[in-house]
Structure formats: C-alpha cells, structure tokens
Amino acid sequence: MKFNHFSWFISSLSHYLLFCILMSLSTSLMALSSDRDQPINLEADSADIDDLKGISIYTGNVILTQGSMVIKSNKLTLYNDKNKQLEKAIAVGTDKKLATFKQRPEGKDKDFRARAKTMIYFLNKDKIHLLKNAYVWQAGDTFSGNKIIYDTKNETVVASSLKNKNGKPVPSGGRVKVTIQPKSKNK
C-alpha cells in the first residue's frame, strides 16, 4: 500500500474539523437541567398506547414537548423500560417535512436544533441518531450529512455521507458539510 500525503492531509483536516464541531456543539447538547423534571406533553392526530409492552405510537402532526425540548414529526414511537421510564423515542418525518428537534442548552441563549427523516433519541444514553438528510445548527454553526450520531455523554460526534452497497460514497448522497462561525473577541 502506497502512502498518499494528500489523503493523510484530507483525513487530518476532517478530524480537525470534527474536533472543532465537537467542541462547539457537544456542550450545546446539554439541555436545561430542569427539562427532565418537566412533564411530557403530546399532541397528535391519533395515538396507540400499549402499557403492557411499553410502546406508544403517535401519528399525524405529532408534537412532543418537555421543558425546552420540542420534537415534531409525522410519527413518533416511544419506548418505556420495565420501570415505565421513557428510554427511547423514534421520530419519523416525511420526504417533504422532516422530523425536527429543538432544545435550549444550559447557559445558552440560542436553541440547539436538528432535523432529519428519522431521529432516534436514546434518553438514558444521551445519544441522538439523525438518519437521512441530517442537519444540526446552533448560533450559526452547522453540520450536515446523511447520518449524524451525537454522544453527549462522551462528547463525540460521528457523521457520514450516503454509501452504496459496496461501502463507496454515492456522488449524489451529499457529503458531510460543516460551517463554524468565527468566535467574537468580546466573548
């Protein structure tokens, strides 16, 4: 295998950019500490709740709010653990109207926002998986790709573009894109 300096440079640059985004966005994912103590409110066109299985399915213009957190989707499936505590939420949008997530980070004056065709929010693990047309932004910083996974507990982020069945990037699959706003000298 031949060492390619250009490939090494591009790989190093992408790791640096991911580190910068991680540093600017990972702390922004820490929600207001009071959010988890707030009641969960749901609105939908229909609801199918199975307490024995711990699964609730809401469809049609679904809006979930808890404190500063708001999830909007076409379909929302909630999974409870054996103690009837919410452990996972799967929000699914449509091609024309993606699922959205908004939450106010602790100590910030701007909301953290995300959108994707499918969002899987693992509450106990502090992870959000954004799948298909994933996009996140806060205070002008943006991050987009086909798949974005945030692990707020370990302060890591992984993003990827769409790949074909052979694992090669699809040209029309959208590359990972990052925008980082310059930090003000007054801050």
The predicted-structure confidence for 96-108, as pLDDT tens digits, reads as follows 999 999 988 777 7
Question: Please, are residues 118 and 90 in contact by the beta-carbon 8 Å criterion?
Answer: yes
pLDDT of residue 95 exceeding 70, the answer is yes
In a domain? residue 185: no
In a domain? residue 79: yes
pLDDT tens figures, 113-164: 889 999 999 988 888 899 999 988 877 888 888 888 876 556 466 777 766 6
Place of tokens 């993606």: 98
Question: Please, are residues 164 and 148 in contact by the beta-carbon 8 Å criterion?
Answer: no
Give the single-character DSSP code of 106: T
Q: What is the structure's pLDDT at 3?
A: 46
Higher-pLDDT residue of 124, 166: 124
In a domain? residue 30: yes
Length of the chain: 187
Question: Please, are residues 76 and 90 in contact by the beta-carbon 8 Å criterion?
Answer: yes
Q: What is the structure's pLDDT at 16?
A: 42
Q: Produce one character per residue of 92-109: b if its CB has 16 or more CB atoms within 10 Å, e if not.
A: bbeeeebbbbebbbeeee
Angle at 166 between CA 160 and CA 169, to 5 degrees: 35
In a domain? residue 42: yes
In a domain? residue 187: no
What Cα–Cα distance (Å) separates residue 103 from each residue in 53, 114, 122, 166, 174?
29, 9, 15, 37, 26
What is the end-to-end Cα distance of the chain in Å, rounded?
A: 47
Q: Count CB neighbours of 125 within 10 A.
A: 13
Q: How confident is the model at residue 109 (pLDDT cuts 50, 70, 90)?
A: confident
Mean pLDDT across the stretch 6-30? 41
Place of tokens 């957190």: 69
In a domain? residue 106: yes
Q: Does pTM surpass 0.75?
A: no
In a domain? residue 127: yes
In a domain? residue 33: yes
Residue 93 belongs to a domain with what CATH number? 2.60.450.10
Angle at 150 between CA 149 and CA 152, to 5 degrees: 160
Count of the separate structural domains present in the chain:
1
Please provide the average confidence, as pLDDT, over all residues in the chain.
77
Which domain, by its residues, includes 173?
A: 5-179
